[in-house]
Structure 1
Amino acid sequence: MNKTHAKYERTLVIIKPDGIQRSLIGEVIKRYERTGLKLVGIKMVVPTQEMVEAHYTLDPEWKKKTGEKNLQAYRDKGLTPPHDDPIKQSDMILMKLKKYFASGPVIAMVWQGAHAVSIVRKITGGTEPMLSDVGTIRGDYVIDSYKVADDDVRAIRNIVHASGTIAEAKLEIDYWFKKEELVDYRLLVDAMLYDTDIDDILE
């Protein structure tokens, strides 16, 4: 089995507490599944705040990058950031994320297929639902925005977490899943998606 083939790319998706509470589990799974991506791992977890912090800080640069991005977003909108320290800003973001993520059960999933990371990101939509395209999960099912979330002093509610890069996906999958919890199997549709020659269709 040639595991270097693009069809073996994997990514992590987490349906967040708001997605669970709004009964969108089936809809979220359907959106990814109908592209041809394969679900190879799934479980429901009630994360602790410590688990959430560990998840977001798997990348040691996460705090710096997230803080800088968030501060720049304030400036791009003509707003004055609370301060100029990206680490302090990311600590505030993380505090809100921990409270949000640990508020109830989540569903962690691993999806596999060619370009899995980018396909899932495209289907999921942008981080801010108000600006997400119609047709994406966040664009179709969420009305939240950074402004409303900031006014309410909480994390933005956007239904789903999706890995941002292949490297990030590997770190996150290894954190949320044991090797034996991921299943290698073949779907009949795999032949239509990936086989070089499509045989035995006509009788």
Structure 2
Amino acid sequence: MTRTFIMCKPDAVERGLVGEIVSRIERKGLRIVAMDMRVPEVALVEAHYEEHADKPFFGELVTFLTRGPVVAMVVEGPDDGTWHLMRTLIGKTKVEDAQPGSIRGDFATTTNENLVHGSDGTESAAREIGLWFPGLA
């Protein structure tokens, strides 16, 4: 079993979509092994998205993710491709590219607020789990 990090962003919480997102994860056959709803601190969000620190949208991203509660999750799946399986379930980052049937394809309306974050690899999953759930790292 391998684990990946998933986060329902503030827009998903505000729109009441957390249950739908969790349901899709579970119906896919994956298991949520940790979940926490919180308003993240600026330092945590900055560390989480450190690879984007030099990009013009970084400040807006930090403001967005700290404006209200998020639901952080550790999701467990059967093999090393769990992160990839979740990325497919979530859908493409750009709303106009997100496939119907994916979370973003069915529910996201703008790319800047696209409902869900998913780790983009085994290494990023381990790093993100360590940031959000230090006891599970």
- Give the structure-1-normalised TM-score: 0.63
The residue number in structure 1 matching 2:127 is 171
Alpha-carbon distance in 2 for matches of 1:134, 1:159: 15
Q: Tell me by how many angstroms 1:138 deviates.
A: 0.3
Local SS of the residue matching 1:51: helix
- The 3-state SS of whatever aligns with 2:57 is helix
Asked if 2 retains the 8 angstrom alpha-carbon contact of 1:132 and 1:139, the reply is: yes
Question: Quick one: which amino acid aligns to residue 33 of structure 1?
Answer: E
User: Could you tell me which residue of structure 1 aligns to residue 58 of structure 2?
Assistant: 94
Unaligned runs of 5+ in 2: none
Give the match for residue 194 of structure 1.
none
C-alpha distance in 2 between matches for 1:63 and 1:56: 6
Q: What letter matches 2:130 in structure 1?
A: D
Contact 1:130–1:142 (CA<8 Å) still a contact in 2?
no
Identity among equivalent pairs (%): 36
The structure 1 residue matched to 2:83, chosen from 117, 122, 147, is: 117
User: Which 4+ stretches in 1 moved above 3 angstroms?
Assistant: none
1:37-73 CA-to-partner distances (Å, cap 9, x unmatched) read: 111000111112222111111xxxx248xxxxxxxxx
**Within 5 Å, which residues of 2 pair with 1:36-115?**
36-57=29-50, 62-63=51-52, 87=54, 90=55, 92-114=56-78, 115=81
CA distance in 2, matches of 1:135, 1:49: 33
Of 10, 16, 33, the residue aligned with 2:3 is: 10
Provide the rounded CA distance (Å) in 1 between the counterparts of 2:25 and 2:87.
Answer: 10
CA contact (8 A) 2:44 2:131 kept: no
Larger radius of gyration: 1
Over the aligned positions, Cα root-mean-square deviation in angstroms equals 1.5
Aligned length: 135
Secondary structure in structure 2 of the residue aligned to 1:29: helix
Change beyond 3 A, Cα 1:31–1:177: same
> Is the 8 Å Cα contact of residues 83 and 121 (structure 2) preserved in structure 1?
yes
For residues 107 and 88 of structure 2, what CA distance do their matches in structure 1 show? 15
For residue 25 of structure 1, what is the aligned residue in structure 2?
Answer: 18
Q: How does 1:185-200 map to 2 (within 5 A)?
A: none
Paired AA for residue 128 in structure 1: K
1:127 and 2:83 aligned: no
